[in-house]
Amino acid sequence: MGEFLPWLEFLWHTSAASLRDPVRYVLTCTGGRHARYTSAPSLRGPRELGAGVYRGGLYKQTVLYEAFSDLTDTVDMQEVATMIDPQPSHRTPIEVVGGIPYIGIGDIDYDNNVIKFDSARKVSESVLIEHLNRYTLSKGDFVMGKIGTIGKPYRIPMPQKYALSANVILIQPNRELIFPDFLYWQFSSYHVTSQLLKGANATSQPAFGIKKSRLLKIKMCDYEQQMAITSDIESKISVYESIANTVEKSLEEALAMRQSILKQAFEGRLL
């Protein structure tokens, strides 16, 4: 029991929220510099488990860092993708009861990988028609936040029965030049995120305009290597998610056990 108590203490004090934002977590842990790890994290104690497996913030960022760190060729974003401002007027459409969902970054549940269509602002069908006339979605397209929340890419679903908010930028990769998921994972990595953090306007509400977005530096390699890198990333993250599900269940059981132990202790029944 003595060996198990440190784990219980760790589980009691660790906040899941601190591991939910991988970029902030990496910057916090490394003092603004991304630490490079060459092996999987050790599971010798509770702190290693929390940092390396549970929620996987640091581990996921390490996978992405390793995937792109050796690539030296870069191009401007505008050379490999089209960046679209879905609401160029920047005026929020009038809300309409029973209308079409108007989706922004705040409507995306990243933890469960879903868009909250039901609770999103609803606008008239004419807004959707304007959007459909302005751009056509393709598989692999994704959005990033440009006002308030910067970055946080999300692959948007099809068919398009919703309009995109003025607080996002639609990114449409040129599939002849870049594998869409290869670009998406770069936007999830420290390589692009650091550029976004550095370039965001220092105001009460951070912003990163579409002109700046078109000049983001994107790492490049031949198409076959892009696909291989993407496959490796997704394989490692899939393994992590499988482990994380098991670990999360174990954590819940450990927390329940801690409560039971404390209850018995206060009742004088713990020997």
Q: What is the pLDDT of residues 177-229, one digit of tens each?
A: 999 999 999 999 999 999 998 887 655 567 888 999 999 999 999 999 999 99
pLDDT confidence tier of residue 130, bands split at 50, 70 and 90? very high
* Closest of 205, 202, 196, 102 to residue 144, by C-alpha: 196
Q: For the chain, what percent of residues have pLDDT higher than 90? A: 51
* Listed range (31-35, 105-109, 145-149) with the worst mean pLDDT: 31-35
pLDDT confidence tier of residue 91, bands split at 50, 70 and 90? confident
**110: number of Cβ within 10 Å:** 12
Residue 102: DSSP 8-state:
E
- Given a cut of 90, whether residue 248 has pLDDT beyond it is no
The pLDDT, as a whole number, for residue 76 is: 97
Residue 207: DSSP 8-state:
B
Q: Are 100 and 161 in contact (CB under 8 A)?
A: yes
The pLDDT, as a whole number, for residue 246 is: 80
Mean pLDDT for the chain?
79
Q: Are 258 and 11 in contact (CB under 8 A)?
A: yes
* Listed range (22-26, 81-85, 143-147) with the worst mean pLDDT: 22-26
The pLDDT, as a whole number, for residue 169 is: 95
* Closest of 203, 261, 234, 259 to residue 12, by C-alpha: 259
What is the rounded CA–CA span in Å between residue 177 and residue 140?
14
The pLDDT, as a whole number, for residue 56 is: 54
Q: What is the pLDDT of residues 106-117, one digit of tens each?
A: 999 998 899 999
* Closest of 103, 196, 213, 120 to residue 155, by C-alpha: 103
* Listed range (44-48, 65-69, 140-144) with the worst mean pLDDT: 44-48
